[in-house]
Structure 1
Amino acid sequence: MDDLDGLDDRVAAEAFRRLVRHLRHRSDAQNVDLMGLAGFCRNCLGDWVAEAGGVPKEQGRELVYGMPYAEWKARHQTEATPEQLARMAESVAKNA
C-alpha cells in the first residue's frame, strides 16, 4: 500500500480543490508547458475526474476549467511553439 492511500479523503479532496483553483487562477500556465514539465495538464486532470466519477470527459474538463474547455481555450490558450511541442512529446514519452 502506498502512503497516499492512507491519506484522509477530506484532506485529499481539499488539496485537489486547491490544485484546481490554482490552475484556474494561473491561466498563463499553458497546458503544453505543463505537459512539457510534468507530463500532465488540465485536460488530463479533467479526464481523470471523468474516469473516477463515471461522467463524460467534457464534464470532467469543465469542472477543472470552471467553464467549457472551448471557452477557456479561446480566452487563454496560445499557439504552441515547435520547442514546446518537442518538450511535451519528450515528457509524455516518460509516462509510458
Structure 2
Amino acid sequence: MHQTSPEQKLSAEQRTALEAAAFRRLVAHLRERTDVQNIDMMNLAGFCRNCLSNWYKDAAEADGIALTKDESREIVYGMPYDAWRERYQIEATDAQKASFATKASHG
C-alpha cells in the first residue's frame, strides 16, 4: 500500500506559494536577528545571508531575470549590504575564524 507524501498532496501552485511564504518568513526573521552574525550561521548551518542572496540571484538568472549581486543582497538584507555591515557586523573572533577555516577546508 503506497502512501501519498505531503508534497504529493499539494498542487504545484500551492507548493510554490507555501515555499515563497516560508522564504519571506525566513528573510524577515534574518532581518530581525541582526545579532546573529553570518560567520556564526556559516559555522553552524553551512549557509548565511550572502548564500541566500546568491541562491536568489541564481534563481532569477535561471528565469532570465537580470539581478546584480548587490540587488539580491539588498532583497535579503532589507538594505544595502554595506549599510548592514556598518550597522550590525562585528569583527569575527579568532575562534570563529578558526572554526570557519576548518569547516571550509573540509566542505
TM-score past 0.5 threshold: yes
Indicate if the aligned counterparts of 1:37 and 1:88 stay in contact, CA closer than 8 A. Answer: no
Q: Percent identity?
A: 49
Counterpart of 1:58 (choices 46, 70, 82) is 70
Equivalent residue for 2:82? Answer: 70
Listed as ranges, the matches of 1:42-57 within 5 Å are 42-54=49-61, 55-57=67-69
RMSD: 2.0
Equivalent residues, number: 93
User: Partner residue of 1:12?
Assistant: 19
TM-score (norm 1): 0.87
Residue deviations 1:28-56, cap 9 Å, x none? 00001001101110011011101111211
> Relative contact order: is structure 1 or structure 2 higher (C-alpha 8 Å, sep ≥ 6)?
1
C-alpha contact (below 8 Å) 1:32/1:84 kept by paired residues = yes
Which structure has the greater CA radius of gyration? 2
**Aligned partners of 2:104 and 2:7: how far apart in 1?**
25
Matching residue's letter, 1:92? A
Q: 1:81 is aligned with what amino acid?
A: T
Report the TM-score when normalising by structure 2: 0.78
User: Structure 1 unaligned runs (5+)?
Assistant: none
Note the C-alpha offset of 1:77.
0.2
Contact 1:35-1:92 at 8 Å conserved across structures: no
Structure 2 runs not aligned, ≥5 long: 62-66
Moved more, 84-93 or 43-52: 84-93
